[in-house]
Amino acid sequence: LTLATAGQHTVRRHNLALVLGAVSAAGRTTRAQIAQATGLTRATVSALADQLLAAELLDELDPDRGAPGRPGNPLRLNPRGPGGLGLEVNVDHLAACVVGLDGSVRAQHVEPFDVRAAAPGATLRRAADLADRAVAEAGIPITGAGLALPGLVDRDGVLRRAPNLPQWNGFAAAETLAVLLGVRIDAGNEANLAALAECSAEGLRDFVHVSGEVGVGAGVVRDGRLYAGVRGFAGELGHVVVDAAGPPCTCGGSGCLEQYAGLDALLRDARAADLDELVDRAGDPHVGGVLAAAGRALGVALAAAVNLLDVSDIVLGGSYARLAPWLIAALQAELERRVMSREIGMPQVRVSRLGPYAAVRGAAGSVVARLLAAPDSVGKAVVSA
């Protein structure tokens, strides 16, 4: 890896990112086309492309003899070049994935794990094992990792409060995992990272993505960018009230959405052991009633979110992606009663196609996005297959 150290040459970094961005946008393009798209000279593009090829960020294909005009060797993002590792520690599961520079998913795993019952150190060791497995399968070098966590994560990547994992409050999870894996790790809120993954995957620009796990969180995207709030704590949909006089919540409040539609509440009310059993028994009238009630509560909280945020789409993710068929009618009915702008236009309710992988894909994607924006930082790649 031959690129200069980060920070030394900001113009060069800018131009490297410009070339990489042009290739990323085009998918497959020539040096001449990059020069045209970026306004850089042909010679500059060639020199930068050579550096990006040497760093294995770009890949050169055979000349495209069928194309019109002067043939040139097409360039693309190198699918075997350095990529990003995504990790997730959630209340009842762990996940890891590796995403290539071109956005391709090289490996992804989710495994059930009772994080509430385990010591944080034991959880991190298990997560590190899962990461190793994903990296080995992916067969590409990793330049960094993103870690999705279920709680308030500040802009320094510290998990400040996780009501469903109180022993993790203030715990330096990312730093410890970085030591275990030998790679830079940036932590973020799982619902925010899931929303970013959804943004890339579906091309939506104004939406709320709901992560229906034991905790219920949301990521808000406005005009294609994450709305994270002043400290990064925005989107706590699980603690929007359905009935202020309702049951006590882990957050200290009462009647929060999470108490009506969080996965723990659903399993308890449906007397199911896990999500698989809940889905299997969803046709049972009692379980169907539990899911319809959860759909109503979700509709109440999402109507509040739409009234405050004015988004055009709602994406149901996490366990809600699987439960959607039994939630959606009751949810829609509440939206149709409560969204102020319903006569002008209703938000579209969609089901995430990323399923349980959204947060971990967003975590890996954030590493790739950083790499594309600052290609010279690839010199710091430390984990290799």
Rule CB under 8 A: which residues touch a second copy? 152, 154, 160-161, 163, 206, 218, 220, 222-223, 227-237, 239-245, 251-256, 296-297, 300-301, 303-305, 307-312, 334, 337-338, 340-345
User: Please, which residue, 81 or 151, has the CB nearer to a second copy?
Assistant: 151
State the minimum distance, in angstroms, from the CB of residue 222 to a second copy.
7
User: Please, which residue, 40 or 149, has the CB nearer to a second copy?
Assistant: 149
State the minimum distance, in angstroms, from the CB of residue 311 to a second copy.
6
Contact 347, 74 (CB under 8 A): no
DSSP state letters, 176-203: HHHHHHTS-EEEEEHHHHHHHHHHHHH-
User: Please, which residue, 241 or 279, has the CB nearer to a second copy?
Assistant: 241
User: Please, which residue, 131 or 265, has the CB nearer to a second copy?
Assistant: 265
User: Please, which residue, 275 or 305, has the CB nearer to a second copy?
Assistant: 305
Contact 383, 135 (CB under 8 A): yes
**Burial grade of 227 (CB within 10 A; 0-12, 13-18, 19 or more):** middle
d(CA 30, CA 173): 43
State the minimum distance, in angstroms, from the CB of residue 246 to a second copy.
8
State the minimum distance, in angstroms, from the CB of residue 291 to a second copy.
17
State the minimum distance, in angstroms, from the CB of residue 228 to a second copy.
7
d(CA 91, CA 263): 10
**Burial grade of 160 (CB within 10 A; 0-12, 13-18, 19 or more):** middle
State the minimum distance, in angstroms, from the CB of residue 148 to a second copy.
17
Instruction: Name the amino acid, one letter, at 203.
Output: G
d(CA 74, CA 32): 10
User: Please, which residue, 134 or 311, has the CB nearer to a second copy?
Assistant: 311
3-state secondary structure of 266: helix
